[in-house]
Structures are given as C-alpha cells and as structure tokens.
Amino acid sequence: MHPMTELPVPRPSACPGLLRIVQALDGGICRVKLPGGVLAASQARAIAEAAQRFASGVLELTNRSNLQIRGVRAESEQELIRSLLEANLGPSVLDADDVRNLMLSPAAGLDPQQHMDTRPLADALLALLQNNSALHVLSAKFAIQLDGGESLCMLEHPHDLWLRALPGAPQLIFGLAGCPTDKPLGMVAAANAVQLVEAILLTFLECAVPEQSRMRQLLECIPADELVRRVQARLPFAISPVAVECQRQIPAAAPPIGIIAQRQAELAMVAASAPLGRISAEQLGAVAELAQRHADGSLRLTPWQGLLIPNVQIHEADNVLAALTQVGLLTNRAAPLPNLIACTGSAGCARGLADTKHDALALAACLQQHDAHPQVHLSGCSRSCAAAHVAPFTLLAVGDGLYQLYERAANVAGFGQPLAPPMNIDEAGAWLAQHHATGRTHA
C-alpha cells in the first residue's frame, strides 16, 4: 500500500492511467493496469465501490486485459485514485504506472498446451519496468507481449517487443514491432530474458528521437538487424540465431466463452464475455463474489474484453457459468453479440462519428434473426481504439449515420478491402447476415 502522501503529477499524455484521469464526453476515464490481467476478488470489490462512489459505475474491459472506470467526477479524482492505491492496484513505484504494459495469456500457468509458465518471468519483467527509473520515460503506449505457447491467447495485437517460449528447452525467441507469429530476430535462454529486455529497451531509448515513441517508428530509420547488433553489445551472453522453423499458429480468434479445462486436474476456467466490453460496478462485484465462493478468489481479464474465473472445481463449473449468465454476462458462444467490438462512439468521445455502442446492439439484433455471428468491429473513427488488431469485418463510421464496411485481407493495409458503398446499420446488418450465412465475402 502506498502511503497517503501527495500524489505525483503524471506526465502529459492522451492515455488514461491510474494517476492520470483523461476527460471524455461522459466524464473522466481512469485506467487500472492489472499485472497479467489478474484481479483479486477483494480488489474487484474495491474497484466496484470506487466506481459507484466517485464515478458513473460504468466499467470497461480493455483489449490489453486492463480495466477502465468511466464517468469519473472532476471533484472526486483524487479520492478515486487514493482508494485504488489503498487496494494495491497501483504500481510499486508511483512514477512507473505508465510503463506497466505487459500482456500475457489469460490462461498463463493454467493452459494445458503451454510450453512455459510465464508468470514468474512476467513478475520479473514488471519489476524491471518499475524499478529501473531510466525506463519510466517510455511511452504510455509502449507494450510488451510474453507468449508461453498457450492455446488461449491473443496473438494478433502488435507489440513493441514480443517474446515467445519454445517447446522443450527453456528458450525464448523475440521480435520487435509485431506479433509472436512474425519471424523472430533471435533466441536466448529463458534465464537471460530479463537482461535481454532491459538491453532492448535501453537501446531503444538511446537511439530514438522524441518523435519515435514506438518501436515501429525507430525501425523505419534503423534496420532491425542493426538494432539487434547494438543490443548484443550490451549483453554478456550471445543472442543465438533461430536456426529451426518455429512458426506459431494463430488460434481461433473467437472470444473464449464457456468451460475450459485447465492443466491442473479436476479444475477449469469459466469464461464469459462482457457485452461490448462494458460491465457495471454491480456486475463486477457479483463476479467477484462468485470467484470467492466457487474458486480461489481471483479473476482474469482477457484481451477479448471478457473475463474468466480460474480454478473452479469441474463439478461446479456448470453452476458458475449459469451464474455468470444470471449476472448479465454473455455465455452463449453462438450468439452474435460476443463477436462484436464497439468503441465508445459519439456518446462518450468527441471524435466519434456514430453512436457505435447503440448501433452494435441493433446490428446484433439483426444478425440474431438470421442466425449469423460474424466478427465485426464498429469504429467511430479511424483510430480504432477498441481493437488493437484488424477484425475480419470492420464498420467504420463516416458520418450521417453511415458506415463503410471493410473485410480484412492479406497485404491490404488498414482495415482491409472496402466491400460496398457506405450504408446505415440496418443495411450493414442485412449485408453481413446474407454474406456470412452463404459463405460469400464480397458483394
């Protein structure tokens, strides 16, 4: 717990944090970063209470397994922050909140297919990011992914640095400005991973100019192999070339829903989706109670904007899933709504050109009538805040109640290939229902 002294002034940024509440049309946004996406039931209850006392009671689950409190009242900001710090939801070093951007599988340590339990290494990497003050100047968007080979994982979100465990020997391959499915740049022993990451981050900071806040921007000026050579000069061990083919397959991108067996005998994860990434404080409190009563008292947020309760006894899993349905979370994999992503839209964001949350509900109703459930991202503007990856279909608001429909396509930048002239949400629903049902992808 942090002593209740005067809070530090966070550096300017458009990214919300625990200490930096960013204003939106519906009030302030406070982002709580969760180590490995893990949230204790007691912490979940503290967030729910704080959201009710100091904000609107509306919570968002983010696409990097974090949580946001929306509608924070201006006069309550400091009280909200202090209540979250008292619940041990802040960084170990207050100035380091921005750099705690490390994404794991929500099933880390539990997945039957994992090559490595990434949690101890994740703890060490988070300690590095917080304890090395030289790293605190990294952009609030600069992010790392640690992939343990789990079957339950999000591999399509690009990160500034990624590491992936290999089967067999404890080794990690790594790459820059991409995903664990990309071609790696080198390989190290897992025991050397923290030193490698530190060297990469310090080299990045040494080479980047202020306008280059992300790794992809630096790589536009310095080739990746040259950057790796500079990293090697900092290390007392050799970065090995990757001599074998180690292609990582992308698992099915559908959000995890239902009962998922763990590697631990007789235990399961019970997963549900939050409707369009939002839940109420009351719902979070109810889920925390379920985790306390039926499992080990912890929750895990997922990068599909959902959550799961781990370590549930197999014989209780059906009851827990039914209880999550009663709470109002989505547990029917075949329904359209769990496959829809929508940003805040014009109801909460000044840049939004459409009320995307409202339109997504209308789209789900249309798709339900046709028994179709394509994966669709509704974006109120081109920034794509709600999805770090390109969805199979994107509806981009273009104003006047119209959306441009895109389909993801290989070698096509941005959202992909436009499929039809701009259309309203009812027309988009009819188009998607027809073409998804028939298997066609183009008009």
Concatenated DSSP letters of 60-77:
EE-TTS-EEEEEE-GGGH
Better-predicted residue by pLDDT, 3 or 87? 87
Least confident stretch, 7-11, 66-70, 418-422: 7-11
Angle subtended at Cα 149 by Cα 144 and Cα 151, rounded to the nearest 5 degrees:
110
Highest mean pLDDT, choosing among 158-162, 165-169, 389-393, 437-441: 158-162
Where residue 345 falls (left for φ over 0; alpha for ψ -120 to 50; beta otherwise) is: left
DSSP per-residue letters across 149-181: --SS----S-EEEEEEEPSSSSEEEEEEEE-TT
Per-residue pLDDT, 248: 86
Tell whether the torsion through CA atoms of 78, 83, 84 and 88 is positive or negative: positive
Residue type, 415: F
Q: Which residues of 60-72 are buried (b: 16+ CB within 10 A; e: fewer)?
A: bbbbbbbbbbbbb
> What is residue 439's predicted lDDT score, i.e. its pLDDT?
39
374-417 pLDDT per residue, tens: 999 999 999 999 998 899 999 999 999 999 999 999 889 899 99
Quickly state the pLDDT bin for 437 (edges 50, 70, 90).
low
> Residue 438: its pLDDT value, please?
44
Q: Which domains are delineated in the chain?
A: 115-148+156-250 (3.30.413.10), 258-333 (3.30.70.3340), 338-436 (3.30.413.10)
The fraction of the chain above a pLDDT of 70, given in percent, is 97
Nearest to 198 by CA among 172, 231, 239, 159: 231
Strand pairing category for 22-24 and 27-32: antiparallel
Q: Which strands sit side by side in the sheet containing 298-302, from one edge to the other?
A: 38-40, 298-302, 306-313, 267-273, 258-261
The encoded tokens of residue 151 equal 């079957």
What pLDDT score was predicted for residue 442?
Answer: 39
What gap in Å lies between CA 83 and CA 288, rounded to an integer?
Answer: 18
Mean pLDDT value across residues 9-24: 92
**Contacts with 415 (C-beta within 8 Å, 6 or more apart), sequence order:** 379, 384, 390, 394, 396, 406, 408
> Rounded to whole angstroms, how far apart are CA atoms 94 and 42?
21
Residue range 26-49: mean pLDDT, rounded = 97
Q: Give the pLDDT confidence score for residue 30 in this predicted structure.
A: 98
Task: Provide mean pLDDT across the span 319-339.
Answer: 95
Please tell me the predicted confidence (pLDDT) of residue 252. Answer: 64
Of residues 282, 374, 309, the one with CA closest to residue 337? 374
Rounded to the nearest 10 degrees, the angle between the axes of helix 193-207 and helix 224-232 is 120
- Interhelix angle 317-327/281-294, nearest 10 degrees: 170
Confidence of residue 230 (pLDDT cuts 50, 70, 90): very high
- pLDDT category, 440, cuts 50, 70, 90? very low
Strand, helix or coil at 202?
A: helix
The pLDDT assigned to 254 comes to 77
Q: Is the pLDDT of residue 5 over 90?
A: no
If you average pLDDT over residues 244-254, what whole number do you get? 76
Rounded Cα–Cα distance for residues 20 and 16 (Å): 6
**How high is the mean pLDDT of the chain?**
94
